[in-house]
Amino acid sequence: MTLSVPGLPAPLASGRREGQGPLLVYLHGLGCAASSDWPPVAEAPALKGRASLWLDLPGFGLSPRPHDFGYDLREVASFLAAALSQEPVALIGHSMGGTLALLLAEELVRRGTPPEALILAEPNLRAEDAVGSKRAAAMREEDFVAQWPAWVAESEGHYRRTVEQADPVAFHRSARSLVHEGRGLIPRLASLPVAHRGYILGGRSDANTHETARQVAEAGIPVVALERSGHGFSEDDPIGFAQAIAQLLDAETSSRR
C-alpha cells in the first residue's frame, strides 16, 4: 500500500496493521527500509495486536526517489505531521528515524496534537552520534554518487540489502540533514510534553552511543538496553526490540509537563 503525504512529491510505500491502541508509526534509519525492518517487530508477541504503520521514507526502500527534492528532515517532519495529526499516534524511530521522530513530535506538539509516545532507538542526539552519516555528508554529492557502489559493498548483512534499495542522492542529502539536525537534542527531548518517552540502547553498540544513553538517562528519560543487539535492532533481536518498545509504551508516564 502507499500513503499520500501532502507536500511530498509522491506517495510513500507503507504498510499497516490494524489493532488496538494508538497507531505505532515506525520511522527507519539512514539506508534502511521500514518495509523490511518493521514487520518482524510488529508481529512479535509483545506488539502483536497493536495498530501500526510503517513508512519507507522518500528515497529509501520501495518509495519514490525524486532528485528535485531536498530530503531535509525538518521539512519531511512537517509534511508527515500534516498526514498523521488525525488520530492518536506513538512514534518509534531508529537511528535517523529517531531524529526524524523527535522533529515530528515537536511539530505535532506545535499543532496541538502531541504524540502519545516517543520511543527512540539510538537516534542522533549529539554530534558524536554521527558516524556513517558524517562520512557521507563530508563528501560532495557528485563524489558520493560516483562512489556509491563502493559504499554499498562496504555494508554487510541485512543492512546491505536495504542500502542496495536506497538512492544515493537521497542518502547523501538525508545524511547532510541528519548531521545538521542531530546534535544538541537531549534537552529538547527531555522538555517535550509527551506522556511516554524512552531510549533503546544496543548493548553491543559503541562507547559514544553508550555515553549518549547515559546522558539521556541523566535527563530523566527511561533507557532500556538490549544486551544481544548492536545498532541493527530489527536484525539482531527483533523479539527483544518489540519487548523494549512495549515496556516503554506501557510504563508510567515519563512526561515533565
pLDDT for the residue numbered 254: 44
Mean pLDDT of the chain: 95
- Measured at the CA of 165, the angle between CA 11 and CA 131, to 5 degrees, comes to 105
The number of folded domains in the chain is: 1
Q: Is 250 exposed, middle or buried (0-12, 13-18, 19+ CB in 10 A)?
A: exposed
- The verdict on residue 48 lying in a domain is yes
> Is there a domain that residue 257 lies in?
no
For residue 213, give the H/E element and its range: helix 207-218
Three-class SS state of 8: coil
Are residues 255 and 195 in contact, defined by beta-carbon separation less than 8 angstroms? yes
Calculate mean pLDDT across residues 91-108.
98
Q: Is residue 114 part of a domain?
A: yes
Is 31 within a domain?
yes
| Coil vs helix vs strand at 194 | coil
Asked if the structure places residue 28 within a domain, the reply is yes
- pLDDT mean over 162-186: 98
Judge whether 255 lies within some domain.
no
Report whether pLDDT(10) > 90.
no
Q: Is residue 202 part of a domain?
A: yes
Q: What is the mean pLDDT of residues 32-55?
A: 96
Q: Which domain holds residue 213?
A: 2-250
What percentage of the chain carries pLDDT values higher than 90? 93
Q: What is the per-residue pLDDT for 255?
A: 41
Please give the pLDDT value at position 6: 86
44-85, pLDDT tens digit by residue?
Answer: 999 999 999 999 999 999 999 999 999 999 999 999 999 998
The CATH number given to whatever domain includes residue 34 is 3.40.50.1820
**The C-alpha cell that represents 178 in the structure block:** 541528519
Q: SS3 for 121?
A: strand
Residue 257: pLDDT band (50, 70, 90) is very low
Is 146 domain-assigned? Answer: yes
> What percent of the chain is predicted at pLDDT more than 70?
98
Segment 31-51 shows an average pLDDT of 96
Q: Write the pLDDT tens digit of every residue in 140-164.
A: 999 999 999 999 999 999 999 999 9
When pLDDT is cut at 50, 70 and 90, the band that residue 103 belongs to is very high
Query: Sign (positive/negative) of CA torsion 144, 149, 153, 156?
Result: positive
171 pLDDT more than 90? yes
pLDDT digits 0-9 by tens, 209-255: 999 999 999 999 999 999 999 999 999 999 999 999 999 999 864 44
